[in-house]
């Protein structure tokens, strides 16, 4: 992962929430929230919360006396997440680095993280921090994307942009969001961090959109891929987005489109 892969700035948070969340994140957020709620946690820490899709799914399922601290490294993402959440005195929003959590040992029943572990500069350190702040018997619940070939629209966009920029293809999607898919490595890193019981479920869903342009907009303008495109061709973001949309239409049709998305869901204790 490059340092720039963490920079969700400018209009990216709004486009991320508008396009990426319904396209690929919502079904996995519902799944993660259901799994989290089934544990009946009293104290929850969410790390790498992004624009708050898990928070919005989980908060209604928590007990009235539960508390939940929602964190993200990126303040602009966290600010956007808080703006989308109605007032709830059980929730607290804090900027925090997952590798240096500003919380006491054994403070939480549950630590959850949706599609954030891939962005940790040192995953074992991040996992050790999650373990440190968990109470005895607490759970670390998170998900990561499977390989890019199992996530069709992401693969379509990546291949389309490689055609436009053959000498220097933008590889953010393959490199970071879809770059941490080896379940044996995930298990080994969790165990090295101190977790002794690790369960990994591979889960497939359908990504749906009203037109091919929606996934093109989502990936090209709602992720750090935007910065990569603009760095290669200033002023050509819309051209690249249009080309990606055309590639999706050629493969999936020019009206409503649907394709496979797949992720690993991990529970560690």
DSSP secondary structure letter of residue 109: E
Residue 154, class by beta-carbon neighbours within 10 Å (0-12 exposed, 13-18 middle, 19+ buried)?
buried
Domain 3-268: give its CATH superfamily: Vaccinia Virus protein VP39 (3.40.50.150)
What CA–CA distances, in Å, run from 164 to 27, 84, 250?
31, 36, 16
Residue 246 region, left (φ>0) first, then alpha (ψ -120 to 50), else beta? alpha
CA gap 190, 251 in Å, rounded: 38
Per-residue pLDDT of the chain (269 residues; tens, 9 = 90+): 444 434 444 456 677 788 889 999 999 999 999 999 999 999 999 999 999 999 999 999 999 999 999 999 988 889 989 999 989 999 999 999 999 999 999 999 999 999 999 999 999 999 999 999 999 999 999 999 999 999 999 999 999 999 999 999 999 999 999 999 999 999 999 999 999 999 999 999 999 999 999 999 999 998 889 999 999 988 899 999 999 999 999 999 999 999 999 999 999 99
125 touches 189 (CB < 8 A): no
Residue 235 region, left (φ>0) first, then alpha (ψ -120 to 50), else beta? left
59 touches 88 (CB < 8 A): yes
160 touches 247 (CB < 8 A): yes
What is the structure's pLDDT at 141? 98
227 touches 218 (CB < 8 A): no
- Give the residue extent of every domain in the chain: 3-268
The two structure tokens encoding residue 257 = 């489109």
**Cα–chain center distance at 25:** 7
Q: Which of 112, 101, 111 is nearest to 73 (CA)?
A: 101
The two structure tokens encoding residue 2 = 């490059």
What is the structure's pLDDT at 12? 63
Sign of the alpha-carbon dihedral angle for 105, 113, 49, 62: negative
Q: Which residues pair with 112 in a beta bridge?
A: 46, 141
Q: Which residues contact 153 (CB under 8 A, 6 or more apart)?
A: 23, 24, 207, 215, 218, 219, 248, 257, 259, 261
What is the structure's pLDDT at 17? 83
DSSP code per residue over 161-191: HHHHSTTS---HHHHTTTS---HHHHHHHHH
């Amino acid at each position: 992962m490059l340092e720039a892969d963490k920079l969700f700035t400018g209009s990216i948070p709004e486009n991320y929430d508008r396009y990426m969340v319904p396209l690929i994140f919502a079904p996995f957020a519902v799944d993660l929230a259901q799994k989290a709620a089934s544990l009946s946690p009293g104290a929850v820490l969410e790390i790498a919360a992004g624009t708050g899709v898990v928070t919005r799914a989980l908060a209604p399922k928590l007990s009235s006396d539960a508390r939940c601290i929602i964190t993200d490294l990126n303040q602009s993402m966290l600010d956007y997440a808080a703006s989308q959440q109605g007032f709830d005195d059980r929730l607290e929003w804090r900027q925090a680095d997952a590798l240096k959590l500003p919380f006491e040992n054994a403070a939480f029943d549950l630590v959850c993280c949706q599609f954030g572990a891939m962005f940790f500069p040192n995953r074992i350190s991040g996992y050790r921090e999650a373990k440190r702040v968990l109470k005895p018997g607490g759970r670390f619940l998170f998900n990561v994307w499977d390989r890019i070939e199992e996530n069709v629209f992401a693969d379509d966009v990546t291949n389309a942009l490689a055609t436009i920029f053959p000498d220097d293809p933008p590889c953010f999607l393959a490199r970071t969001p879809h770059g941490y898919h080896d379940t044996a490595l995930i298990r080994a890193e969790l165990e090295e961090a101190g977790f002794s019981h690790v369960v990994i479920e591979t889960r497939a869903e359908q990504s749906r959109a009203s037109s091919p342009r929606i996934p093109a907009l989502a990936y090209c303008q709602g992720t750090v891929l935007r910065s990569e495109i603009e760095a290669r061709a200033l002023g050509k973001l819309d051209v690249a987005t249009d080309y990606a949309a055309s590639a999706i239409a050629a493969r999936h049709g020019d009206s409503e489109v649907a394709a496979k998305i797949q992720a690993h869901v991990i529970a560690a204790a």
